[in-house]
Structure 1
């Protein structure tokens, strides 16, 4: 549940949740991180997802770190633009954002476009592969710039999910630890 002392790590899976092979599921087991369970994974409603994240941030006893994958990244940006709880966020690790403004994805997951492009009020790092089928590398870089996040090009790796063969993704955990250590108040 915690990383770097009293910081609660909240895992924000994307559309359809993270399966057992996904690094987020492995982190939940290995590190005790807390998954933000959504009521509806197949037909995500933006307002419902925002409310669940708000509940989890409020329930955390101290600071939180947000660790988002895919649609979870888009959720972080939308939540940060409206929540009064952003001061509780120590940092955010954003991995493989989905481009919900792309026609095919907008139709599959309606209600999430346009993507909120406001600068995040907390430190963030965005990691993306340059062969992600759900977000062109240039779009991922632009989202990082818009959100004020440092960008890391992961090279090849697809959507950086269970199918990418990342296992426990120790590289990602090191990035999170570095992010939290660097921004330790």
Structure 2
């Protein structure tokens, strides 16, 4: 049985009856689906469509490269690992390499996929692909014209302090810090 058929035969499956497009932006779109419920009723589901994103845990001389930037939805400045959305047709690994260099000025000699995860499965389809690299060389910063950030290298202790202080609070960076800590403790990601 194919994965699609297996999902459709699950007792909790919600079959889409109608899709109503609401908004189409440059990064996301919003739609409202009417679905049939397992009990025979119907409900609406608000769904954010997103092309997916990449993030990079980049370690340089025992420190993690992070960027600091203002995040309008949170109305605060955040410290995060380098990341960005996938361009149309772009492979996640290529996007990770591109975003790392654009935001930090470093190129990865090698890069390895750690994990892919959904950010908010209750309303969004976005998947973030997390990569790690420990082999970096100088490259060229190339920020988007609407992108303002600074890059720094921080220790694991600093990262943990930033988490306690709320300066790091996004899922991708939290996951990266915990993966880095596991690597320090066990030698493996």
* TM-score calculated relative to the size of structure 2: 0.25
Based on CA coordinates, which of the two structures has the bigger radius of gyration? 2
Structure richer in strand, relative to its length: 2
Q: Which structure exhibits the higher relative contact order, with contacts defined as CA atoms closer than 8 Å and separated by 6 or more residues?
A: 1
Structure richer in helix, relative to its length: 1
